[in-house]
Amino acid sequence: MKKFIMLIIVLTITALLAYLLFWPVPIDPVAWQAPQAPALAGRYAINDTLATVNWLAVDQGVGPEDVAIDGLGRLYVGYEDGRLVRFDPNGENPAVLANTGGRPLGLDFDLNGNLIIADGYKGLLQLSMDGELTVLSTQANGLSFGFTDDVDVANDGMIYFSDASSKFGPAMKARDDVFEHGGHGRLLKYDPQRGVTTTLLSGLQFANGVAICPDQRCVMVTQTGSYDIVRYWLDGEKAGTSDVFFSNLPGIPDGMSSNGRDTYWVALYTPRNALLDRMSGRPLLRKVAWRLPKMLQPQPATHAFVLGLDLNGTVVHNLQHKAPGSFHPITSAEQFGNKLYLGSLNQPAFAVYPLVSTGAPLMP
């Protein structure tokens, strides 16, 4: 009997090892070297500034990834069930405007007051205020969008947006693209007058947040998979080239916005994960980790985190709240007047943080 039990144990362990090492997976991990994560100290010191956020539109829907604000201060969000909903400036009186049938993520208004939507499944969309939903673009240079993510409209009407991954769409989740690190992301431009989409940058590591520079001479895009922000030059002697605006962020970047004057807001989905960084140079280990139950894979912390950067890339705002009940994960931060509106991938609400009344500390 003991021999039989031992045989069962050996066979079980063998089968488990075979599964962890050889079971087919959809990712083909690429080795890279993650930079050593900066400590959450000094300019990144942990604080509870965001403990005072006001939760808005609680239980009206799940996953308001981004918040767009019109000239009247009304608030627009997209939920995981595809609904686009408008609220009054207090986050009340919801009005369903449309349902994309996909997953609306990034939002912004064009020069004619239409809501431009980066929909993870449907592509780049436009919603007129009379409720007409139009598909603007679904591919560039013959390659279809796999994960249309964020969008920002320039003063000249050009629409800049990201395709986070042409290989892994929302159904596969960002995890797969980050685990693979294969460079499937793109920064794109849509010309509404010509109806033409142009690829500005390719090979990005999960291209996420997009923000036009205040002087309109460049556009920023966050790379979730490599913890940095890339700047693409639109004008001047550097036009058509790119550089790294900010490297080695202390967290995994998501959405990014500009207040149009002096500050870039960067939403950090979670602080850096030491296990994920240690696996960066070990493709086989990342395959093994992918095969594990999700509860055993690297997990985001219960930590709200937003950075404010000046136009030179200096950290001037460090907003955090590390607690199970914090408003996390934060996927977008949009300033309107003296308020900072926060979106989230999976909370049943969005939130607002008053910048003036608290002084929006430069450092804790």
Alpha-carbon gap, residue 345 to 223, rounded angstroms? 17
For residue 317, tell me if it sits in a domain.
no
Answer whether the bond into residue 94 is a cis peptide, omega within 30°: no
The pLDDT of residue 207: 98
Query: Is residue 3 very low, low, confident or very high in pLDDT (cuts 50, 70, 90)?
Result: low
The pLDDT of residue 22: 46
For residue 309, tell me if it sits in a domain.
no
The parent domain of residue 37 ranges over 2-42+60-300
Alpha-carbon gap, residue 8 to 111, rounded angstroms? 68
For residue 183, tell me if it sits in a domain.
yes
Predicted confidence (pLDDT) per residue in 308-326, tens digit:
999 999 999 999 999 999 9
Alpha-carbon gap, residue 159 to 154, rounded angstroms? 6
Alpha-carbon gap, residue 198 to 330, rounded angstroms? 29
Chain-centre distance for alpha carbon 54: 21
The pLDDT of residue 114: 98
Are the C-beta atoms of 236 and 267 separated by less than 8 Å? no
Query: Is residue 173 very low, low, confident or very high in pLDDT (cuts 50, 70, 90)?
Result: confident
Are the C-beta atoms of 115 and 176 separated by less than 8 Å? no
pLDDT at 297 over 90: no
pLDDT at 200 over 70: yes
Positive or negative: CA dihedral 290, 294, 298, 301: positive
Alpha-carbon gap, residue 156 to 217, rounded angstroms? 11
pLDDT at 19 over 60: no
Predicted confidence (pLDDT) per residue in 246-296, tens digit:
999 999 999 999 999 999 999 999 999 999 999 999 999 999 888 888 777
186-190, 230-234, 336-340, 352-356: lowest mean pLDDT where? 352-356
Radius of gyration of the chain measured on its C-alpha atoms: 21
For residue 238, tell me if it sits in a domain.
yes
Mean pLDDT of 44-64: 97
Query: Is residue 11 very low, low, confident or very high in pLDDT (cuts 50, 70, 90)?
Result: very low
Query: Is residue 364 very low, low, confident or very high in pLDDT (cuts 50, 70, 90)?
Result: very low
Predicted confidence (pLDDT) per residue in 102-157, tens digit:
999 999 999 999 999 999 999 999 999 899 999 999 999 999 999 999 999 999 99
Q: Which two tokens stand for residue 170?
A: 């929302």
For residue 109, tell me if it sits in a domain.
yes
Positive or negative: CA dihedral 234, 236, 238, 239: positive
Q: Which two tokens stand for residue 183?
A: 């460079």
Mean pLDDT of 15-32: 68
The pLDDT of residue 1: 63
> CA 187 → CA 26, 34, 156, 221, distances in Å?
24, 22, 18, 7
The DSSP call for residue 325 is: T
Predicted confidence (pLDDT) per residue in 233-250, tens digit:
999 999 999 999 999 999
Alpha-carbon gap, residue 162 to 229, rounded angstroms? 13
pLDDT at 201 over 90: yes
Query: Is residue 8 very low, low, confident or very high in pLDDT (cuts 50, 70, 90)?
Result: low
For residue 352, tell me if it sits in a domain.
no
CATH code of 19's domain: 2.120.10.30
Query: Is residue 171 very low, low, confident or very high in pLDDT (cuts 50, 70, 90)?
Result: confident
Percent of residues, the chain, with pLDDT higher than 90:
84
Size of the chain in residues:
364
Mean pLDDT, the chain, integer: 92
**DSSP per residue over 140-207, as a string?**
ETTEE-S-EEEEEE-TTS-EEEEES-SS--TTT-HHHHHHHT---EEEEEEETTTTEEEEEEEEESSE
Amino acid at 97: L
Alpha-carbon gap, residue 244 to 227, rounded angstroms? 11
The pLDDT of residue 288: 87
For residue 280, tell me if it sits in a domain.
yes
Residue whose C-alpha is closest to residue 140's, from 192, 189, 204, 209: 189
Considering its fold, how many domains does the chain have in total? 1
The phi and psi torsions of 106 (rounded to 5 degrees) equal -75, 145
For residue 341, tell me if it sits in a domain.
no
- β-bridge mates for residue 309, sequence order: 264, 315
Contacts of 350 (CB under 8 A, 6+ apart): 55, 56, 57, 64, 67, 75, 77, 91, 341, 342, 343, 344
Percent of residues, the chain, with pLDDT higher than 70:
91
Mean pLDDT of 7-18: 49
Residue whose C-alpha is closest to residue 234's, from 131, 306, 289, 156: 156
The pLDDT of residue 244: 98
Residue whose C-alpha is closest to residue 28's, from 168, 149, 148: 168
